[in-house]
A and B are shown apart, each in its own frame.
Chain A
Amino acid sequence: MVFLHATSLADAVAALSAHPGAVPIAGGTDVMVEVNFDRRRPAALLDLTRVPELSRWWVEDGRVRLGAGIPYARVIAELGDRLPGLAMAARTVGSPQIRNRGTVGGNLGAASPAGDSHPPLLAAGAEVELVSNRGRRRVPVCEFYTGVKRNVLAPDELIEAVWVDSVAGPQQFSKIGTRNAMVISVAAFALALHPERQQVGTGIGSAAPTPRRAREAEELLAGELDAAGLWESRGPLPATLAEEFGSRVCAAAAPIDDVRGSAAYRVHSLRVMARRTLTWAWNDYRKAA
């Protein structure tokens, strides 16, 4: 095995190009577990923690450009106002020690269906920026995941950043675990209301082979809010709409039974989380008037 240190993005891209089998490592919270247990023996590890471009964020054209190497602790501390959904999810990741090291880029790279970043990124309509010797490309996050722990990343590509709309409407995130801290998601749901374009974003975690949106639920809700003029009136949300929204969210899930939870519970909890998060988000929207 080779250990590669990168001190700039150009360095990192060049190193990956020269060692296409290299595994990029930032916080190490996924990669090192596999290395420690000898489940993964990469030809090279490429350390990204010293790449300054990856640990910066800024706002450009109303979008937050979040460097892939920013740890969750910084998302919570610095971006709670701009990316509230992601910050809420970040607070539920592992432990304080994990949040000090683990990154959104790492979560995307691992592409576990249980990754906590995915639902809020899906709900917010984020894009993932990938870079290689061949150039840059942006992939909508909903097209990023291709299977269980698989994504669109080519062997020579790095996740450079995530682009997310700076918040315009309320966001919520909710996650089920069987203890009150340090737990992998049994099911998770994120919701973003986009009043500026009268749309709704959703993200489901741990309830399908990949993180995914609940498109029918989004369309139903956006349509009903529009039809009833609720975006403008900010009137009370009909209870039946919240229920129906929950049902559509469930319909989008394709969970399995495993040691962490049953498929039936995952579906059931998604229904409840969808209803509750919508209620909270809508109340926030009404209060913000």
Chain B
Amino acid sequence: MRVTTTVNGETRHADDVSESESLLYLLRERLGLPGSKNACEQGECGSCTVYLDGVPACSCLVAAGQAEGSDVVTVEGLAPGRDLDPVQEAFVECGAVQCGFCTPGFVVSAHDLLARCPNPGDDEIREALAGNLCRCTGYEKILDAVRCAAGRMPSERSTV
């Protein structure tokens, strides 16, 4: 089947999409966007998190056909220009990235959290990001990055 979606602001078509395919597969294998990671294919790790119509979702659990006509934003779409999003910037700066395989999913989840809740407390951050597994960092530096990005979001956003 043919699937048409808006991905990172661009209308994209994919042909010969299998009905059983996931949005994650569509993004990675057909649309050349491997930023979203495949680490479990069952919604247990969050590495494939993307915005689907403005809401973070595990793209491995969305059938490609369900994304027809949807608006998808992936990690690649968060920094379309040269400048990083404050969340991405904070992840690099605070040491929240080690192997980085979980990073794209974390960046999207953290981006969503701060959009909904600009100054989250630690418990809120932990609950909001508990759907993203990281095996390298022990999460401390990820918490730091989210706190740091939270401090920067309002002013930086107003100047953008």
Contact = CB atoms under 8 A, between A and B. Distances in A.
Direct contact of A and B (CB under 8 A): yes
Interface string A1-24: 111010000000000000000000
B19 A96 contact: no
A181 B62 contact: no
Contacts of B131: 94-98, 181-182
7 contacts: A5-B65, A94-B131, A96-B127, A100-B57, A101-B55, A101-B62, A181-B131
A95 B130 contact: yes
Given A1-B19, A37-B41, A97-B109, 19 more contacts: A3-B63, A28-B66, A29-B58, A29-B61, A32-B63, A33-B43, A35-B63, A36-B60, A45-B19, A45-B63, A45-B65, A49-B66, A95-B132, A98-B43, A98-B58, A101-B57, A101-B58, A181-B127, A181-B131
Interface of A: 1-3, 5, 25, 27-29, 31-33, 35-37, 41, 44-45, 47, 49, 73, 94-98, 100-101, 180-182
B79 interface: no
* Interface size range on B against A: 20 to 34
Contacts of A45: 19-20, 63, 65
Contacts of B55: 73, 100-101
B130 A28 contact: no
B1 A3 contact: yes
Contacts of A180: 130
Nearest to A179: B130
Given A96-B128, A101-B57, A47 B65 contact: yes
Which 4 A-B pairs give the minimum distances between C-beta atoms?
A95-B131, A181-B130, A3-B65, A1-B19
B14 to A, nearest CB: 13
Contacts of A47: 63, 65-66
B57 to A, nearest CB: 5
Contacts of B127: 96, 181
Nearest to A40: B20
B18 interface: yes
B156 interface: no
B10 interface: no
Given A28-B63, A36-B22, A97-B56, A5 B68 contact: yes
Nearest to A36: B41
Select the residue from B41, B44, B55, B66 with max chain A CB neighbours within 10 A: B66
B49 interface: yes
Nearest to B108: A97
B112 to A, nearest CB: 8
Contacts of A44: 19
Nearest to B38: A36
B46 interface: yes
A44 B1 CA distance: 13
Contact of A97 (B46, B66, B68): B46
B58 A36 contact: no
Nearest to A33: B42
A73 B42 CA distance: 19
Contact of B42 (A25, A36, A181): A36
Nearest to B133: A182
Contacts of A182: 44, 130-131
B63 A25 contact: yes
Contacts of A32: 22, 43, 60-63
Interface string B1-28: 1000000000000000011101000000
Nearest to A37: B41
A45 B129 CA distance: 31
A97 B62 contact: no
Contacts of A37: 41-42
Contact of A25 (B43, B56, B66, B109): B66
A252 B46 CA distance: 36
B72 to A, nearest CB: 14
A128 B132 CA distance: 33
A113 B56 CA distance: 27
